[in-house]
Structure 1
Amino acid sequence: MDTPQVIAPPCAQPGSPGTSGPPDVTPTSGVIHVNTRHVSGFVIIGNHLAQHHELSLIAIGLAVHIQSLPAGAKVGIKVLTDRFPESEARITAALHELEAEGYLHRSRVRLPSGRVVTRTISYNQPGTTAPPVVVAPPRQPRRQATPTAPEPAPAPPPPPAPEPAPALPAPVHVPPPTAPRTPPSPLPQPHKPTTELLRTAAAVLTDLRRHAPQLTLKEDDIPTLVPGVAAWLERDTHPDTIRHALTTDLPTPVKHPAKLIRHRITTLLPPPLPGTTDLTPPPRPKTLVIPLQNCDTCDRAFRATDPGQCRDCRTDLRQAA
């Protein structure tokens, strides 16, 4: 009575009835395969190619197409471009991907006839060694039999060393059309450019490289930018304030220091302080206008500061006297 007795069969394993293999569970999401066994017209592709993590889909599809072709089929860029809707540039890039990963090797070889052709070797498993390819010599014309002993057949020439593939020309970058540039604003000018003011402005520009080495100016740039800094100093701007405005938030890298400083001097110019009248430009001289007068003798109009006689009447009067 101590031995347990089995009174019920064990639970059935999930899966298809009548099978002894692993359970056939249909996934609830993702891909579902419906496989039919091929008996002809197929090619074996490894998962290392079909699931490659670094190749593009165009490169994977192109490798599958090349491996499915018979030996001797043409796989040049022009042929592939005519066969598929992808552009020549995309097919060229896909061939370079396959060469980099070891699925393809292309070389330029010269045949014994002198013709240069492209030899393409496709690897279904990268890293394998290709068998040596022997190029048949050109056909010799058939000679008539002579009673002399036959000459030995010439030995086939060794296969030439593969030449590197020619480098593709770099793509030409065509910039998009741009709108016409507006001319830059004129550089501010001081109203009273004294010698001391210009000397201080030159010192501020020369000292910029100590605070921002990327703003090192050429010697010819200093006299051009001095009037703009002098206009800042004339408006009672401290040199430290000017230095901070010119060296803060610089772009990386600074390609044209002089152009950048000119732009900031022009666009960040502070307004004059209230109550400063010495910065206003001097008034323009008034144009002297001589009024019209009527001659006392002939009543002709003439210009003069005081009324009287015109020039002709004064001349006639002097001649009569």
Structure 2
Amino acid sequence: MDTQQNTALTRALAEVPGPLPASGVIHIAIPHTDRFTVVGNHLAQHPDLSCTAVGIAVRIQSLPQGVEVGIKALAAHCREGEKRIAAALRELEAFGYLQRVRDRLPSGRVITRTVFCNQPTALLRPRRPAAPQHPAAPAPRPAPAEVPTSAPARAQAPTSAPAPAPAQVPTSPPAPAPTSPPEPDTSAPQPVPPPPLFSAHPAPLFVPLVPPPTAPKPPPAPLPRPDGLTPELDRAATAFLSDLRRHTPQLTLSETDVRQLVPGVAAWLERAAHPDAVRRALTTDLPHPLRHPAKLLRHRLTALLPPPLPGSQDMAVPDRPRITVTPFQTCDDCDRAFRSPAPGHCRDCREHRAHRSEATRTAA
């Protein structure tokens, strides 16, 4: 059997303007008349977004206002799982396409609104305030052609005799001619309407989380320095930095870099850090390729600086308040145990002895 030919595709290829490329994709662009969404190339060809994030962004952009775009709502209509959809939403949020805004309703309830911007970089451009909408004044009506101008008529009037007035014939009063509406006075100041409540370009609801490339960067943290750079610390730090290339060839430093990094290593050694521990902190998990070894060592010496060791007084446990415990004693008469700082008699025996002494004094 012969291979079936797609005549529709052949006809569409014949209508493509220009010569067809020998390799690569060939676009057959058929204009949409309904159910289409405009997507910018900054999103479709984003170099840092995954294809899943681009697809989720296009799907969200095609949905109407008010449709739920949460993780579970998207997972119910997409083949991707909730984990992939959550990761894609985090990517879009990191690049400013998606933002979750907390808003308080007039009733006091706090809700979370999901805002999607199809072009987040446009929000960083300065926007002009919307000009107030003034009603256009109606154009003045042109004067009738048969009405002569008054100035030339008055200039020529003295040269000719005035025409006699026509005789008045008693007839019925003529009907009043329809009067045209008075023309507006364009010289008078027009009332200015109040500015509109909502401008044509409202303020952006959010600012992308990714700063623009031209944003000023914070200054780097200063390199740590020891309390006192003694000659012994200086010599040990210099020897340590010069010896790094024997263990890690990528960390071959110049003499200038060594002199600049000596205070940072001296601060570690002053805090009783062992040289092997410092070497592991500076040489573990190096990037490949390593272009600026001195900058990497400066960052690690600053960011990973350990705290100073506590002294013996700092680790001493404070004395707890002592509680005095009254010891047990044995009564000399009844051998009952009772608490008392000194040996003697219990309470009952003391009362019995006091009662007997009182009775003896009374009998005497």
| Superposition TM-score tier, normalisation by shorter sequence | 0.3 to 0.5
TM-score (ref. length: structure 2): 0.30
Instruction: Say which structure is richer in helix.
Output: 2
TM-score (ref. length: structure 1): 0.34
